[in-house]
Amino acid sequence: MFKTGDLGKWSDDGEITFAGRIDFQVKIRGLRIELSEIESTIKEIKDISYVVVIDRIRKDSSEKYLVGYYITPKNITAKDIRNYLENKLPDYMIPQYFVKINSIPFNINGKLDRRALPEPNIDDMLTSEYVAPETTIEKKLCDIYSKVFKIDVKKIGKNLNFFDVGGDSLLAVKV
């Protein structure tokens, strides 16, 4: 018998039907990702006391993406975490968003309530100091970013980092 991590059940007609997974492995853009591996790598960062990584689905395109939620008493930013992970994990395993939270949502059984974790707010990801676009190309690029990320164009400056606001290779093609 080969353990796949898939959960199945016998139907009334003798067929095995897929019922989900018993681990937290997800498939994004054709690549299998073990969420616990990402979580344990983030936990290596000093002063991060809790981490959970989940997959979410974009409402506008139904593509999956990763979000890392973390608790820390220090001023550890998404950029700090991303910089650390770039040396430890392949690009496809680095969450597109990181959300600092104050507490963990639990369900009535005392387990982590993944559905209660907040959606990432792109406005919170805008960490660079705003510098207005000057050239025609910079202004056009800001307009494109505004449409792709659904951010008010007045918040997108020329120092905006594409990856800090959730950019990935698929969105780069869209841009």
Q: Number of structural domains, the chain?
A: 2
Domain boundary among 120, 140, 161: 120
Q: How far apart are CA 37 and CA 23, in angstroms?
A: 12
pLDDT at 123: 64
| Contacts with 39 (C-beta within 8 Å, 6 or more apart), sequence order | 51, 52, 53, 68
Q: Are residues 101 and 65 in the same domain?
A: yes
Q: Are residues 80 and 156 in the same domain?
A: no
Return per-residue pLDDT of the chain as tens, 175 residues.
555 656 667 778 888 776 655 557 888 888 899 999 999 999 999 999 999 999 998 777 778 889 999 999 999 988 899 999 999 999 899 998 899 999 989 889 888 898 899 988 776 666 567 778 888 988 888 888 888 877 777 777 777 777 767 777 777 788 8
- The Cα-based distances of 11 to 14, 19, 66 in angstroms read 5, 11, 33
pTM value is 0.70
Q: Which domain holds residue 133?
A: 121-175
Q: Cβ-count burial of 30 within 10 angstroms (0-12 exposed, 13-18 middle, 19+ buried)?
A: exposed
How many angstroms separate the first and last alpha carbons of the chain?
46
Q: Are residues 164 and 145 in the same domain?
A: yes
- Please identify which residue in the block is written with the tokens 């409402």: 59
| Contacts with 110 (C-beta within 8 Å, 6 or more apart), sequence order | none
32: β partners: 27
pLDDT at 93: 94
Q: Are residues 78 and 103 in the same domain?
A: yes
Q: Are residues 58 and 114 in the same domain?
A: yes
Q: Are residues 17 and 73 in the same domain?
A: yes
55: β partners: 66
Domain boundary among 75, 90, 120: 120
Q: How far apart are CA 79 and CA 163, in angstroms?
A: 9
